[in-house]
């Protein structure tokens, strides 16, 4: 079982008036470890009623719907101070609309059509953010990661990919204990040597610390954890 699946199951509301697209989004959610779809809605009014009744952790919302549209739904959600987080999926690309929706506090804005992996990436980012925000105090590195701003996007060393770095950090975040390069590599689907390069980079920038375990003769085994790991347990 993956580290994500071992955590609590995040409840998701799919808000989409196209039955085929709603079914596709539901399938992607339910195939993502640690997530489950609890309901679907075809209008903003129906979505708001379901949020009030079910209190889902996350809503995946299309902006174009009959009746009360997605933007109206988002406004009502924020005015009522509902804690449900939102990922927007829409064909709308207008900069003014994107800015308005971002001001309403959505986690991500996905433009249709998008690859299934893009939604799964958003779900993984939600998981990491939600778990981090449950802690009583945050480090600067944790704040930078969850806000998604440019402050956390320095140029990576040659050969390192940002998507793989995000996957490595998510594995460390979900692991709940110090992990070796081999364990991280197996979880991400990369070689141990490659995982070690990413972990060593995270150590250099101060995002992780290394614990060297000496178990008998031979070289010590390195394990990697966040600096505040003990406070997270």
Domain check: are 122 and 145 in the same one? no
Nearest to 154 by CA among 204, 109, 188: 204
DSSP H helices, 93-220, are 95-103, 116-133, 140-147, 162-175, 181-188, 192-204
pLDDT value, residue 165: 87
Residue 152 predicted with pLDDT over 70:
no
Q: How confident is the model at residue 228 (pLDDT cuts 50, 70, 90)?
A: low
pLDDT value, residue 148: 59
Residues 6 or more apart whose CB falls under 8 angstroms from that of 197 comprise: 159, 160
157 vs 230, residue with greater confidence: 157
Residue 187, both tokens: 């979880």
Domain check: are 17 and 126 in the same one? yes
Domain check: are 117 and 27 in the same one? yes
Domain check: are 91 and 151 in the same one? no
Domain check: are 8 and 69 in the same one? yes
pLDDT tens for each residue of 164-217: 888 898 888 777 789 999 999 999 999 999 999 999 988 877 778 888 876 656
Domain check: are 26 and 125 in the same one? yes
| CATH number assigned to the domain comprising residue 174 | 1.10.10.10
Count structural domains, the chain. Answer: 2
Burial class from Cβ neighbours inside 10 Å (0-12, 13-18, 19+) for residue 173 reads: buried
Query: Of 115, 133, 151, which closes a domain?
Result: 133
Residue 6 predicted with pLDDT over 70:
no
Query: Of 133, 167, 202, which closes a domain?
Result: 133
Q: Helix, strand, or coil here: 209?
A: strand
Residue 189, both tokens: 């689907």
Residue 57 predicted with pLDDT over 90:
yes
Give the CA distances from residue 36 to residues 12, 134, 167, 169, 209, in Å, rounded to whole numbers and listed in that order. 6, 20, 21, 23, 33
Give the CA distances from residue 174 to residues 45, 168, 226, in Å, rounded to whole numbers and listed in that order. 35, 10, 11
pLDDT value, residue 27: 93
pLDDT > 70 fraction of the chain, expressed in percent and rounded: 87
pLDDT tens for each residue of 72-111: 899 999 999 999 999 999 988 888 988 999 999 898 999 8
CB 33 within 8 A of CB 6: no
183/50 Cα distance (integer angstroms): 40
Query: Of 133, 151, 184, which closes a domain?
Result: 133
Chain centre distance of CA 121 = 6
Residue 13 predicted with pLDDT over 90:
yes
Give the mean model confidence (pLDDT) for residues 146-159: 62
Give the mean model confidence (pLDDT) for residues 38-52: 94
Domain check: are 129 and 144 in the same one? no
Residue 7 predicted with pLDDT over 70:
no
Domain carrying residue 190: 140-232
pTM: 0.63
């Amino acid at each position: 079982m993956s580290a994500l699946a071992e955590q609590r199951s995040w409840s998701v509301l799919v808000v989409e008036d196209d039955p085929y697209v709603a079914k596709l989004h539901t399938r992607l959610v339910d195939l993502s470890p640690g997530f489950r779809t609890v309901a679907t809605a075809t209008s903003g009014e129906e979505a708001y009623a379901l949020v009030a009744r079910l209190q889902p952790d996350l809503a995946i919302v299309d902006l174009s719907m009959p009746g009360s549209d997605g933007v109206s739904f988002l406004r009502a959600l924020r005015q009522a101070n509902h804690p449900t987080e939102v990922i927007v999926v829409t064909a709308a690309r207008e900069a003014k609309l994107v800015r308005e929706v971002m001001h309403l506090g959505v986690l991500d804005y996905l433009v249709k059509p998008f690859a299934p992996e893009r939604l799964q990436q958003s779900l993984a980012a939600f998981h990491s953010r939600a778990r981090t925000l449950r802690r009583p105090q945050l480090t600067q590195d944790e704040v930078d990661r969850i806000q998604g701003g440019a402050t956390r996007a320095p140029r990576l060393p040659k050969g390192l990919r940002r998507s793989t770095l995000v996957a490595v950090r998510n594995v460390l975040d979900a692991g709940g204990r110090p992990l070796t390069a081999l364990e991280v590599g197996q979880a991400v689907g990369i070689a141990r040597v490659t995982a070690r390069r990413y972990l060593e980079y995270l150590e250099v920038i101060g995002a992780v610390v290394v614990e060297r375990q000496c178990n008998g003769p031979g070289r010590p085994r390195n394990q990697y954890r966040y600096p505040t790991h003990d406070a997270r347990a």
